[in-house]
Amino acid sequence: MVPRDAFADMPADTPDTPAVEETPTEDASPDPVEEVAPEETPADEPEVPAEPAVPGEELPEGVSREAKGLRVEESRWKTIYGNHQLVQQVAELLGEPVTREALELRQNAYQMQEQLYGDLNSADPTLQGRVLDFVLGDMTRAQREGEVGADPTVPFTQAFYEKIQQHPDAYAQLRFSAAKDLVAEMFQQAAQSNDTQLFSSAQHIARTLAGIRPELLKTPNGLATLRATTERMGLPFYLQEEMANLAKGTDPAAEMRARIETLESQLHGRTTSTQAAQFDSWKGATNQAIASGILDGAITPALASVADAWKAFPKDYQEQVITPLHSEVNRVLGQDAAFKSQIKQLSDQAQRAVSPQVRQRVTEQIKQLYTYRAQQAIEANKRPILAKAAEYLKGRSDANHARRAAGQSQTAPKGVTTAVPRSVVPGNVDKSNFTDASGVFDPMKASKYLSSVLPR
C-alpha cells in the first residue's frame, strides 16, 4: 500500500458523496452595546486566524519563503523526504519512471481484476456469462490474429470439464444439464424419424434421471407422478401419443413448464424484495459511516491547527470554513470517475452478499476509501478557504473597532455640564402645596400648583 500523501502533487480528477450533516451553532461573537474606555484592541476579542501571506507561487503547508530560499518545517521535511524515498522505491518496483500514466495503467488493471473476480464470485449467471464471453472471445481473437495456432477453446473446455469434477455439486449440475439436452435431442430425433424404440429409450432415460422406479408406473397415478416430477426438474418427457405433435414442432409440455417458471420467478421476486430492503438499510448505515469518516477522519484533523483560533466564532467557523470545505470535498469526489467506479464495485459486492459480516466489511472499505480521498481533496484545497475565512473575520473585526470608536466619540462628555435630571417631579415639592391650613387636600390649590410646574 502507498502512503496517503505519496503522490499528493499529482492532479486529481473525481462520486456522489453523501452530504455530511452540518450542525449550526449559535453566534458567540461580541456585540458591544455599552460605553467602554478607549483601547486599541478589545480584551474579549481573540486573535484573528490568518494564513501567512506568500508572495509569488503558493507554497505547500509547512514551507515558507525567506531571503535565501525556502524554509521547511521539520515535520513537513519528514513527509517530503519520505515521499521522495517512496517514489524511488516505486520506480524500482515498476522498472520505469514513476509517472501518472504508469500508475493509472496499473490502477485500471487492478480495478479490472477486481471486477473480474467480483463477477465470477457473484453467483449471478448473467455476470458470470459475461466473464466467459470475455475469456472465450479473447481466445478467438488470439487464434484469429495468429497468436496461437490451434483453437484455445477446445483444450480450455476439456480442462474445465476435468477440473470441475473436483467440485461435486457443480459437476452434478453440469452433467444434469448435459443429460437434459441429450434427452431433448433424443425425443426430437425420434419424433422426426418416427423411431418408436428411440422414443421409448428417451422415456426410460428421463424416468431414470427423475429417480422414478419402474414399479411406480404400474400404480393408478404412476404416470402422472412421473410427468409432474420431470416437469419440476426441467426434464423433457413425452408420451407415445404426443410423438406426432412433437414431430410438427409443437411441445405439449411447454405451457406447463412456462407456468412453473412463472411461479418460480414470482417466488424469487419476493425473495429479491426482502434482499432489496436489507440492501437499502445497509446503504443508509453506510452513508452515515461515510459522513462520519469524512468529518472525523479528514476535515477535523486537517483543521486542528486553526480550530482553537475560531472557538469564539463557532457560527462563522461553520459557515466560512466547514461548509465550504465540505462543498469542495463533494465536488472533488463527484468528478473522480475512477473513484466512483471503485465504490460501485464494492456496492455491488454488498448487494450480492447475504452475510451481515461481509456487508460490514464492505462498509469499512468504502468508509476508508472516502476518508482517504477526502484527505487528499482537503490537502489540495484548504489553504484558499482558510485565507478567505480569515480575511472575512478580519474585516468583521475591523468593523467592530470602527463602530466602538464612533460610539465613544458620540457619547463622551464635552466640558463642564450639570447632571441630567433623573425624575420629572421637582425637588422642592411639599405637602403644603396641595393642602389647606387644616391639612385637608385642596383640589384648587393642587391644580394651581401643578399648572406652575407643568406649563402648557
State pLDDT tens for residues 353-370. Answer: 777 888 888 899 899 899
pLDDT at residue 166 above 90? yes
Confidence of residue 434 (pLDDT cuts 50, 70, 90): confident
Residue scoring higher pLDDT (266 or 248): 248
Query: Are the C-beta atoms of 223 and 217 separated by less than 8 Å?
Result: yes
Residue 64, beta-bridge partner list: 71
Q: Report the C-alpha gap between 315 and 25 in whole angstroms.
A: 5
Distance in angstroms (rounded) separating the CA atoms of residues 332 and 7: 16
pLDDT at 53: 44
User: Does the CA dihedral 431-435-440-443 come out positive or negative?
Assistant: negative
Give the C-alpha separation, 342 to 403, whole Å: 55
Question: Tens of pLDDT along 93-118?
Answer: 888 888 888 888 888 888 888 888 88
Contact 192, 175 (CB under 8 A): no
The pLDDT value given to residue 422: 63
The yes-or-no verdict on residue 290 having pLDDT over 50 is yes
Strands (E), 130-253: none
Q: Which helix (H) or strand (E) element contains residue 328? A: helix 323-334
List beta partners, residue 441.
Answer: 435
pLDDT of residue 407: 64
Q: Predicted confidence band at 1 (pLDDT cuts at 50, 70, 90)?
A: very low
Cβ within 8 Å of residue 60, ≥6 positions away? 76
C-alpha 73: how far from chain center = 35
Find the length of the chain.
456
Instruction: Indicate the range of 77-91, 242-256, 278-292, 406-420 predicted with least confidence.
Output: 406-420
At 71, which helix (H) or strand (E)? strand 69-72
Task: Output phi, psi for 99, to 5 deg.
Answer: -125, 165
The CA dihedral of 328, 112, 355, 15, to the nearest 10 degrees, is: 20
Q: How many CB atoms lie within 10 A of CB 97?
A: 9
CA 246/CA 174 separation, integer angstroms: 26
Distance CA 228, CA 205 (A): 16
Q: How far apart are CA 346 and CA 377, in angstroms?
A: 21
pLDDT band at 51 (very low <50, low <70, confident <90, very high): very low
The per-residue pLDDT of the chain, averaged, comes to 77
196 or 67: which leads in pLDDT: 196
pLDDT value of position 31: 41
Residue 304 pLDDT greater than 60, yes or no: yes
**Alpha-carbon distance 199 to 183, whole Å?**
10
Three-state secondary-structure class, residue 66: strand
| Amino acid 163: pLDDT | 92
**How high is the pLDDT of residue 254?**
54
In a 10 Å sphere around its CB, with 0-12 CB exposed, 13-18 middle and 19+ buried, how is residue 42 labelled? middle
Q: pLDDT higher for 61 or 151?
A: 151
Global confidence as pTM? 0.44
Look at residue 441 in the predicted model and tell me its pLDDT: 82
pLDDT at 220: 83
Handedness of CA 136, 141, 144, 150 (dihedral sign): negative
- 361-404, pLDDT tens digit by residue? 889 989 989 998 898 888 888 888 888 888 887 887 777 777 77
* pLDDT value of residue 40: 45
Residue 417: what pLDDT?
A: 60
Look at residue 20 in the predicted model and tell me its pLDDT: 43
